[in-house]
Structure 1
Amino acid sequence: MNFIHMNFRKFCLQLHLWLGLISGIVVFIVCITGCLYAFKDEIKDATQPWRFVAPESVPLLLPEEILEIANHHTGRTAPTAITYGEATDAVFVDYMDFKTASCTVYINPYTGEVIQSIQKEPGESDFFSFVLKGHRTLWIPGKAGKMIVGYSILIFVVTLLTGLVLWYPRKWNKKAALRNFTLKIKAPFARVNYDLHNVLGGYAAIVLIILSLTGLVWSFSWFSKAAYYVTSGGKELKPYVLPKSDTLHIAEGKAGLNVLFGQLKKESPDATTFYFALPQKKESVIRVSVVHERGSYYKTDNLFFDQYTLAPLQGSGAYAGKYTEASAADKLRRMNLEIHDGRILGIFGKILVFICALIGASLPVTGFIIWFRKRRNHLSRPRRS
C-alpha cells in the first residue's frame, strides 16, 4: 500500500512539474491581469468624478428628455443605451459604433447638464479594457488567444490538484504541520522560495481552482454545457436568444420609453440601476436590465419589451427573466462572474481574490526557481566513472 502511495506521489510530482512549466507564463499573465482588474469599480469610482452628482429633491428627467439632450450635444440620432443609477449617479447615454467613434455622455438627471462626454475611436481601449483583453486572450487577436488561455488554465487546474496531493502531509505531526503551514522568512533563499511556493500555494489552491473553473465557463462551450448539466441535474443549457418585436405594429411608431421607465420604477422602487439597451433594427426589442444590488450581475432582472407596444416578451437562456424566478442552476450560472471576481462576498471577496491571484502569479516563478536550482545542482555534480 505504501509502495502504491509513493508511486502516486512521484507521478503527481512529475505531472505537477511539467504541467507547471508548460502553462507557467500564461498563468502568470492571467493572474497578474486578474489582480489589476480586481478593484476596477473602486478605482473608477475614485478617479471618475463625472459619474456622480449631488442628489436633489426634484423629479428625475425622464429618458426621452435625457436622450434629446444627449442627441443635441453629440449631433447623433441613434443612441444605443441609457442607464439610470442611484440618487448620486449621473445618467449616461451610450452611442456604440464599431466602425466609427463611439461616445458616452454623462448627464445630471436633475438639471440636464452635460457633465462629461467621452469619445473612443474604433479599437481604442482604456486601461482596464486593455487589462481584461490580456486576461482573456493574452492580447492575441482572433480565437487563438482565448484557446491558449483556456487550455493553459485547464492545465493549471490539474497542476493545482497535484500540488494539493504533494502539499498534504504524509504524516500528521507537529513537524509536518510547521513545514507545510508556516513560512520561514529568516532562512536561506532556497528555503524561503520553497515555502512561498509550497505553503502559500497550499493556502490559495482551493480558491485558485474555483477561479479557474469559473473562468473555464467562458473559455470552452463544452465545459460550460457540462457544468450546467451537472448543476441542473441533467438539463441542457439553452442558448441566450432575444425575442423579436412584432413588426406588424411598425406603422404605430415606437412606444414611449418614459412609460416603460415609470412602470419599471413602480415595480422595483429599490432597484439600483435601470439599463435600457435601445433597439437598432425594426425587429429588435427594448432590452432592460433591472439591477437590485449595486454592481451585481446575479441579482438582475433581464427583461424584454416590444419596441412598438411595450408588451413584455420572453427571452431564452439562463440570463433571461427575473432572477427570483430563475432555477437554481440558472442562478448559479448568473453568479459565475461574481464568484470569479469575488464580488459575491463583497469587498472581502475582492481582497481574497486579489491575494490568491497574486499568489497564483508567484507560483510559476517560485516553481521555476525550485526546478532550475535542482537541475543546476544535478548537472554540477561530478559523474561517477
Structure 2
Amino acid sequence: MKKALKKLASQLHLWLGISSGLVVFIVALTGCLLVFEDELEPVIDRQFHIVEAHQGEQRLPLDQLQTRVSETYPGKKLVRITIEKEPERTIVFGLKNGKKEKDILSVAVNPYTGNIAEARVEQDAFFSVVLRLHRYLCLEETGKIITGISCVMFLIIMTTGLIMWWPNRKNRKQRFTVKWNARFKRLNWDLHAIFGFYVLPFIFLIAITGLVWSYKWVNNIIFMTFDGKPQQKREAPANVQPVSNQDNTLFQKIYAETNQQLPNPGKILITLGESDSLSVTVSKTNDNAAISNIVDFLYFDKNNGQLIKKRLYADETKGMKVRRLIYPIHTGSLLGLPTKIIAFLTALVAATLPVTGIVIWLGKKNKSKKEIKPNVSGSIRTKRKPIIAG
C-alpha cells in the first residue's frame, strides 16, 4: 500500500511539476521582488519618490499642488492622491489616462516647492510589470486562469513531495541534512528535497493564500465562514451637500481632518468617486498596529469636505478582518522585517524547485537510456543484475 502510494505520488509530482514548472518559477521569482516592494520602489525610481526636505519647512496646501498638476495636464481627471508619511516623499497625483480603470498617469509633486518631480504611466512602472507577471503573467484573464491552475498544481506537488520525502529508519539522517561535499547529482537532490521540506509550511501558506486572488469562491469562503454571508460590496456614500462653488481648500480640509480623526502614522490615499455625486474616500494605514494592513476609512462630502461617514477597522466584521490578514500573510509583511525575510527566502527556494526538479528528471531519463542499449545484431541489451549466491 505504501509502495503504491509513493508510486502514485511520484507520478503526480513529476508530471504536475513539468506542467507548471515555468509558471511556478516566474511567480516565485517575481514574488521575491514583491516582498520588498515598499523598500525597493523609492530606490529604483528615486527621482519619482524622493525630494530634499529641510527641517521645519512647511508643505504647500494640497489644493495648490493639485492646481499645478491640472495646469500641467489639462483635461485629465484626478482619480487619487497618495501621501506617504515620510517628510522626504513626493505627493503622487493619479490622473485618468485612458478608458480602462487601471490606465493611470502618476504625477509626483515636490510638496515643498510645487514643482513636478516626474510623471510616469503606472502600467509601465517596474513593480507594476512585476505584479502583473506575478498575478497573471501579463496575459490578463487568460494568465489569471493559468496561474490559478498552476497554484493548485503546486499545492498538490508539495503534498506529493512530502510523501516521497518521508523518511524511514535507514535514511532518516539523509532526509534532514544537505551533503554539501557530495557529487552534483546528490547535491542537487538534497537542494530540491531537503530545502523543499524546510520551507514547505511557508510555501504552502503563501500558495493557498494566493488562491484568494485567483478564485472568487475562495474569497467568498472566508466571509461565509466568519460572517455567514458573502462579502458585501462597499461603496462610497452620496454627497450630502448640494453642488456649490468649487472649494479651493477641499483636499487640504480633508487631509487635516483625516489626521485629526486618525492621528496614527501611516500612508493616506484619497480616492475620488467614479461619479461626481459620490463622496471622497480616504484610507489611512495604521503603522502603530502590531500587524500590517490595518486600514481605516473615512468618507468626505466632495462639495465642502464635511466628514460624512467612518468605517474603522475596529468595527469591521470578522470576515473582513480575516480577509485583511491574507495580503500580509501572502507577502510576508505581517510582522515586518522578520516575516519579510522568511517570505523572501521561501519564494527564492520555491523558484529553485522547478529547476532542480528538472535536473533530477533529466538525470533519471539519461540513466534509463544508458541502461537499455541496442547491440550489434539489433536486439535490446539490458543491464543484468549480478547473481548473488545463496
TM-score (norm 2): 0.84
Partner of 1:40: 37
Partner of 2:115: 114
C-alpha distance in structure 1 between counterparts of 2:70 and 2:57, whole Å: 23
What is the CA distance between 1:303 and its match in structure 2?
A: 2.8
User: 2:282 pairs with 284, 288, 311, which one?
Assistant: 288
Counterpart secondary structure, 1:241: coil
CA spacing shift, 1:37–1:294, aligned 2, 3 Å = farther
Q: Which one has the largest radius of gyration?
A: 2
Partners of 2:270 and 2:281 within 8 A in 1? yes
| Deviation string, structure 1 residues 242-285 (Cα, Å, up to 9, x no partner) | 13414x74333566333322221112222222211123522222
C-alpha distance in structure 1 between counterparts of 2:295 and 2:129, whole Å: 26
Partner of 1:217: 212
Partner of 1:270: 264
| Deviation string, structure 1 residues 271-313 (Cα, Å, up to 9, x no partner) | 2222111235222220111111299861111333332363424
Q: For 1:1-385, what aligned pairs fall within 5 Å after superposition?
A: 4-50=1-47, 51-52=49-50, 53-76=52-75, 78-86=77-85, 87-99=87-99, 102-109=104-111, 111-120=112-121, 125-140=124-139, 142-171=140-169, 176-230=171-225, 232=226, 235-246=228-239, 249-252=241-244, 256-293=250-287, 298-308=293-303, 310-313=306-309, 321-382=311-372
Partners of 1:343 and 1:349 within 8 A in 2? yes
Partner amino acid for 1:264? T
Partners of 1:287 and 1:302 within 8 A in 2? yes
Partners of 2:264 and 2:288 within 8 A in 1? no
What is the CA distance between 1:155 and its match in structure 2?
A: 0.8
Counterpart secondary structure, 1:282: coil
Partners of 2:258 and 2:298 within 8 A in 1? no
Partner amino acid for 1:241? R
- % of aligned pairs identical? 28
What is the CA distance between 1:59 and its match in structure 2?
A: 4.5
Partner amino acid for 1:242? E
| Deviation string, structure 1 residues 193-218 (Cα, Å, up to 9, x no partner) | 11011101101111111111111100
Partners of 1:245 and 1:307 within 8 A in 2? no
Q: How many residues align?
A: 366
What is the CA distance between 1:344 and its match in structure 2?
A: 1.3
C-alpha distance in structure 2 between counterparts of 1:212 and 1:139, whole Å: 19
Counterpart secondary structure, 1:335: helix
202-211 vs 255-264, which deviates more? 255-264
Counterpart secondary structure, 1:176: coil
Structure 1 residues not aligned, in runs of 5+: 315-320
Partner of 1:318: none
Partner amino acid for 2:243? A
Partner of 1:317: none
C-alpha distance in structure 2 between counterparts of 1:210 and 1:26, whole Å: 18
What is the CA distance between 1:334 and its match in structure 2?
A: 1.0
| Deviation string, structure 1 residues 46-104 (Cα, Å, up to 9, x no partner) | 23334234153254433222212322343456322222222332222221322498533
